[in-house]
Amino acid sequence: MSIEVKVPQLPESVADATLVNWHKSPGDSVARDENLVDLETDKVVLEVPAPAAGVLTEIKIESGATVTSGELLATLEPGEAAAAVAAPAASVKPEPQAAPEAAPAAAAPPATAASTENAGKLSPAVRRLLEEHDLDEAQIQGSGRGGRILKSDVVAFVDQRVQPAGDTEDLPVETVPAVGGARRDHRVPMNRLRARIAERMVEAQQTAAMLTTFNEVDLTEVIALRSRYKERFEKEHGVKLGFMSFFVRASLEALRRFPVVNASIEGSDIVYHEYYDIGIAVSSDRGLLVPVIRDVDAMGFAAIEKAIGTYGKKAREGAISMDELTGGTFTITNGGVFGSMLSTPILNPPQSAILGMHKIQERPMIVGGEVRARPIMYLALSYDHRIIDGREAVQFLVAIKDALEDPGRLLLQI
């Protein structure tokens, strides 16, 4: 009896999903729990596993279609996969002419096996790049966990195929850029995550009275403290001591002092959240994701660093869940890792504020009447002026500055 493969129950806030890619074709054998197809929602990519071992008999919905919860995707004939495919294989008579080609064909299986192994591990961004450049994943050596192919692996492979401009003697004719040739545009549809990001950014600017205030922070003491204890910290807790945990803890202390920054608007009400769920913006191949670290007030530096590391890894691998992206009362984004010196971050609705970090740069500062080089970072706080006044926003940012310039306050909570 055939088994129906259906769209799993989508999260409550998600109405539908896009069928991104089938990893199997009709007639292919599948193992139980093997990923059959990827469904892309506004925030995450969901994998649909095979409910039983057997053979995929029919695909009902093709790639690119929009699907909803419970919709029929395919049918599966249960049973041992090897036995199911044995009969069709035995009924095919080999052509006499094919015999001479048997020896060279023996080299093909390893590449095919690698392709099959990686097929279920490719992110949508990697698949798009492979399709755009007409590449087979078996050609590319993956640098990710378990040999997973990353976007950077594909980009590096493509770059290696391009020779220097002056060395075109042995370059195939079709790849030599023609002087004065036709100019081209390459049009691709937005993926669901990018479209959702665009929608939320416009929503934030249209619905909130958004304003940004700036300050600068001297990170001399944080850098000294981190340098003094980072080796012992890593040995004790099994995780590196980064800068983000200092900013999370400093934000926590400032949120406690100014609860309106941790609040949100619902209709004509202001909702004051008596818990602290801080979102950390993470860049991924698919776009910007904001996983939420919940109950930060109950966490120490090590727990915060471990949570940030785990979410960052999940985001890059496309393994982050919807629950890990929902909620949040305040957000921190770090453009400094990309070299940004100053920016005005956009609110993450329905939150009322977001903190922007930037690049640490040595600048001349007056210290004790003398000019000294100090590691300075510009901070930006974008906030909803409908419920947060300028006085509260400025004092909130100053509270973060004071905590970071004297990090002993974070331990004493003063």
Active site residues: 385, 389
Cβ neighbours for 84, distance < 8 A, ≥ 6 positions apart: 29, 54, 55, 77
Burial bucket for residue 269 (CB in 10 Å: 0-12, 13-18, 19+):
exposed
Alpha-carbon distance of 129 to 14, in angstroms, equals: 27
At 175 the three-state DSSP class reads: helix
Alpha-carbon distance of 286 to 44, in angstroms, equals: 9
Query: Strands 54-59 and 29-30: what pairing?
Result: antiparallel
Count how many residues are written for the chain. Answer: 414
- The first and second tokens of residue 14, run together, are 């998600």
Alpha-carbon distance of 400 to 248, in angstroms, equals: 10
DSSP character string of 229-262? HHHHHHHHHSS---SHHHHHHHHHHHHHH-GGGG
**Residue 350 preceded by cis peptide, ω within 30:** yes
At 63 the three-state DSSP class reads: coil
DSSP character string of 292-359? EE--GGG--HHHHHHHHHHHHHHHHHT---SGGGS--SEEEEEGGGGT-----PPP-TTBSEEEEE--
- Paired with 60 in beta bridges are none
Helices and strands counted in the chain (H then E): 11, 19
- The first and second tokens of residue 186, run together, are 């390459």
At 6 the three-state DSSP class reads: strand
- The first and second tokens of residue 233, run together, are 């910290």
Alpha-carbon distance of 374 to 365, in angstroms, equals: 6
Alpha-carbon distance of 102 to 106, in angstroms, equals: 7
- Paired with 278 in beta bridges are 293, 330
